[in-house]
């Protein structure tokens, strides 16, 4: 008689350790600190996003993209270059 091997249950993948993603509230606070508005064309241009996408992030409809989070951190640390009008 041949014994059947028991299948092992798939173990859940561990979540990556690291900082938590930026929330919509943190995004709004960062914009306020930089003197930018959620619905401003200057905000969209500074972040390289469309105006509506900036609004969706602030509303919590979509996550803050990691590159935008990094860019905001750099702007907060070094200042916003206003010569790119």
pLDDT one-digit tens code per residue, 40-62: 999 999 999 999 999 999 999 99
Q: Is a pLDDT exceeding 70 seen at residue 18?
A: no
Q: How many domains does the chain have?
A: 1
Find the domain containing 37 and state its range: 24-78
Q: How confident is the model at residue 85 (pLDDT cuts 50, 70, 90)?
A: very low
3-state secondary structure the chain: CCCCCCCCCCCCCCCCCCCCCCCHHHHHHHHHHHCCCCCCHHHHHHHCCCHHHHHHHHHCCCCCCHHHHHHHHHHHHHCCCCCCC
**Cut 0.85: pTM above it:** no
């Amino acid at each position: 008689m041949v014994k059947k091997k028991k299948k092992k249950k798939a173990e859940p993948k561990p979540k990556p350790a690291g900082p938590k993603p930026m929330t919509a509230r943190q995004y709004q606070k960062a914009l306020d600190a930089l003197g930018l508005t959620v619905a401003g064309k200057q905000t969209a241009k500074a972040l390289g996003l469309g105006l509506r996408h900036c609004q969706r992030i602030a509303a919590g409809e979509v996550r803050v993209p990691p590159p935008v989070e990094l860019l905001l951190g750099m702007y907060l640390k070094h200042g916003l270059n206003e010569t790119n009008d």
